[in-house]
Amino acid sequence: KNQVEQSPQSLIILEGKNCTLQCNYTVSPFSNLRWYKQDTGRGPVSLTIMTFSENTKSNGRYTATLDADTKQSSLHITASQLSDSASYICVVSDRGSTLGRLYFGRGTQLTVWP
């Protein structure tokens, strides 16, 4: 069964600190992996998208890594800000059919305290 598991479920850090969020998946055959940020009461917004051949991709203070062999991805946030408080969702797409299904994780709820 194709699944996307995220950890931790929730995380509290102090402003200015770094943190790393994890995503493990069993989706096969793999097409790409995306990280979304969802602020409370809003829709998800894309942060990064990574294909099979990409190991690292950065978007400002956000850096995503992908290990396609172990089927793991991480999202590292550097020098956290209060505005980073949100749910971070990992989404994996397969390429097993023309539809190309998306598999969503349940998200990691990050809270940044001043």
Q: Give the binding site for another protein (CB under 8 A).
A: 4, 9, 31-32, 34, 41-46, 49, 51, 89, 93, 95, 98-102, 104-107, 109
Task: Give least dist CB 37 to another protein, A.
Answer: 11
Q: Are 47 and 59 in contact (CB under 8 A)?
A: yes
> Which of 43/114 has CB closer to another protein?
43
Q: How far is the CB of 24 from another protein (least distance, A)?
A: 14
State in angstroms the smallest separation of the CB of 33 from another protein. 11
Which of 105, 110 has the CB closer to another protein? 105
CA distances from 114 to 51, 62, 84, 98, 104 (A): 35, 19, 12, 46, 30
Residues 6+ apart with CB under 8 A from 64: 33, 35, 47, 48, 50, 56, 57, 58, 73, 74, 75, 76
Nearer to another protein among residue 9 and residue 114 (C-beta): 9
